[in-house]
Each structure stands twice: as C-alpha cells, then as structure tokens.
C-alpha cells in the first residue's frame, strides 16, 4: 500500500527532484520543471464558470473572456490559462465573487467548487 505524506509543496518538489518520493499532488504545470511531470495526467479537474448574462449570450469559449474581468479564488492561478488581455483578479470568498458578478463588478467567476 502506498505511503501518503502531507508536506508543503516546495518540500514535495524537492523530494520528487531527489527521488525520495514518486509523485506530488497539487502542482500546476508551471510550478516546477516539466521533467518532473508524468507523460499522462494523474488527475484532471476543470473549474466551473459563472458568467454575466451579457457574456452568456455570446459565449464562444475562453476567448470570450478577452477584455473582461475574471475573478477566482486566491491561489487558483488561472491567469496562465486565460487570454492575455483578461483582467484577472483573485479573492478569498466565492460568495463575495458571486456578489461582484451580480453587481457587474466582474464578468466571470472561476471556481473548482467543493
């Protein structure tokens, strides 16, 4: 049975690099050198997206977020996966982000959910 250890991500990266552990979860593709990533994904997740009514009418995928303000939770780091001209901001509360969406202060909210 595999042994599971919990540790800070930087320490996990170091242990993967030294060969002390076989894999680390919780890292995004840009977090560490690609040579430490498996050829096939071990886990895949995709966020939910809530958009304004105006954006919903003309939705054509992520490109629709160009020149829009997008909110996500602190640490989610979605900026690298969005069009370059997105105004990307991170917040600590999903509830607050949804209120901003309803008030028109952001155009979309990204969240991995529970």
Tell me the per-residue pLDDT of 18-43, one tens digit each, with 9 for 90 and over. Answer: 988 887 777 766 777 777 777 776 66
Residue 100 and residue 53 share a domain: yes
Q: Which CATH number is 106's domain given?
A: 3.40.190.10
pLDDT(17) > 50: yes
Q: Please check whether residues 81 and 33 belong to one and the same domain.
A: no
Give the up-direction half-sphere exposure of residue 45: CA atoms within 13 A in the CB hemisphere. 15
33 & 87 share domain: no
- Whole-structure pTM value: 0.65
Mean of all residue pLDDT scores within the chain: 86
Count: domains in the chain: 2
Range scoring the smallest mean pLDDT among 53-57, 64-68, 73-77, 97-101: 73-77
Q: Which pLDDT does position 114 carry in this prediction? A: 47
Angstrom CA distances, 65 to 8, 49, 87, 96, 111, stand at 33, 11, 9, 20, 15
Are 66 and 35 in the same domain? no
In this structure, the answer to whether residues 75 and 107 fall within a common structural domain is yes
CA-CA distance, 39 to 36, in Å (whole number)?
9
pLDDT value at 70 more than 90:
yes
Q: Which residue has the tokens 């050829």?
A: 39
């Amino acid at each position: 049975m595999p042994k599971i250890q919990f540790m800070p991500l930087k320490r996990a990266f170091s242990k993967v690099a030294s060969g002390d552990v076989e894999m680390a979860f919780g890292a995004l593709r840009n977090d560490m050198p690609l040579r430490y990533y498996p050829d096939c994904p071990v886990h895949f997740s995709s966020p939910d997206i809530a958009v304004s009514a105006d954006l919903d009418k003309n939705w054509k995928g992520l490109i629709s977020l160009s020149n829009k303000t997008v909110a996500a939770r602190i640490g989610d780091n979605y900026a690298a996966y969005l069009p370059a001209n997105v105004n990307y901001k991170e917040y600590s509360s999903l509830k607050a982000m949804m209120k901003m969406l309803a008030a028109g202060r952001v155009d979309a909210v990204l969240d991995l959910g529970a």
